[in-house]
Amino acid sequence: KKRVLSGIQPTHDSFHLGNYLGAIKQWAQLQEENDAFYCVVDLHALTVETDPKLLQKRTLLSAAQLIAIGLDPNKCTLFIQSHVPAHNQLAWVLECMTGFGEAGRMTQFKDKSQKGGADRTNVGLFTYPILQAADILLYQADLVPVGEDQRQHIELTRDLGQRFNNRYLEVFNIPQAQIIKALAKINDLQDPNSKMSKSAASMSGVIELLDSSDVILKKFKSSVTDAGKEIKYDEKSKPGISNLLTIHSAFSGKSITEVENEFADKGYGDFKTAVADVVNSELAPIREKTATLMQDPAELMRILEIGGEKANQVASETLKKVYEAIGLAI
């Protein structure tokens, strides 16, 4: 059995289609044959200032969505990052081993700090990838299922793990990113050259898992398509149609070529409606299950606390080895 670990931020009420196809749908598959740990990374979410009540609600909503998409707390360990203090404790140790320039080269940090401006760029945004490395290394993970935008953070995690092992003792397993190439970057429907993102300026190109079927249909119908009429996969000249083909294929289980053939003599309008239909038939039950789970927040917390206990056991064992290896007098 391989150890799997991944995390997702509770920064919004709903996850989006990029999160779903790029990451969390894989999580559900990977729990079957592996020893999987999945966490809602509420500490990472603190890099964006949020109303405390809202953050709390979103943390539960995130867990509810994860269970609704198929994570089974009996098959995997589902927990909240802040329930395991070792994440912060290891993060500090790793921060002391990370070069300032090395952290500054993280492209996500560069993007976010540019967008936020110097005043709004907090130090947490800078050390964010190091906390992420701690999330992963604490669990001795083999595989980290993520989308393409996390590749560099996993590389940093590997570097830090190796650096620690070389400098002190072989404490950490060195993990690998598990990225499904075809689904690793789902794009915004209004701006098909950019990835679908929770922080998009407008949500009209972002399909949220908790959007109603009507809203989803509307968003697909108004998606930006390309010149010409053909429904053909061509990332360069037809990024909009290519993105829709990727989405259709992921939901219908058909290959891109099969979908192209199916719509060979149809127009963009018919195709967009068909994409909305396959998406809605999978997402509608997820939406309903999320709503049902949210009716009993105490039960959700109970599940997350059980997960937190299991996570704490594994994490504190690794942390103890780390503290001993670096010479803390514990």
> Which residues are known catalytic residues?
112, 195, 198
Q: Decide if 221 contacts 154 (C-beta within 8 A).
A: no
Give strand pairing partners of 40: 8, 80
Sheet holding 3-8, edge to edge: 77-80, 35-40, 3-8, 143-145, 176-178
Q: Which pairs count as long-range contacts for 117-122, CB under 8 Å and 24+ apart, including other chains? A: 122/47
Q: Please report how close the Cβ of residue 41 comes to ligand TYM at its closest, in angstroms.
A: 4
Nearest to 197 by CA among 5, 6, 7, 11: 11
How many CB atoms are closer than 10 A to CB 168? 17
CA angle 55, 212, 17 (to 5 degrees): 65
Q: Please report how close the Cβ of residue 229 comes to ligand TYM at its closest, in angstroms.
A: 27
State which residue, 41 or 94, has the beta carbon closest to ligand TYM. Answer: 41
- Please report, for residues 5, 59, 313, the alpha-carbon distance to residue 303 in angstroms, rounded to integers and kept in the order given: 18, 13, 16
Q: Decide if 37 contacts 76 (C-beta within 8 A).
A: yes
**CA–CA separation, 239 vs 70, rounded Å?**
30
State which residue, 262 or 310, has the beta carbon closest to ligand TYM. Answer: 310
Q: Please report how close the Cβ of residue 261 comes to ligand TYM at its closest, in angstroms.
A: 26
State which residue, 244 or 263, has the beta carbon closest to ligand TYM. Answer: 244
Q: Please report how close the Cβ of residue 10 comes to ligand TYM at its closest, in angstroms.
A: 8
State which residue, 94 or 184, has the beta carbon closest to ligand TYM. Answer: 184
State which residue, 196 or 263, has the beta carbon closest to ligand TYM. Answer: 196
Say which residues have a Cβ less than 8 Å from residue 23's Cβ, sequence separation at least 6: 6, 8, 145, 146, 147
Q: Please report how close the Cβ of residue 11 comes to ligand TYM at its closest, in angstroms.
A: 7
State which residue, 81 or 263, has the beta carbon closest to ligand TYM. Answer: 81
Q: Please report how close the Cβ of residue 323 comes to ligand TYM at its closest, in angstroms.
A: 21
**Residue 247 backbone dihedrals phi, psi, to 5 degrees:** -65, -45
Closest residue to ligand TYM in the complex (CB): 22
Residues that bind ligand TYM (CB under 6 A): 5-9, 18-19, 22-23, 41, 44, 132, 135-136, 144, 146-147, 149-150, 153, 184-186, 195-196
Q: Decide if 280 contacts 217 (C-beta within 8 A).
A: yes
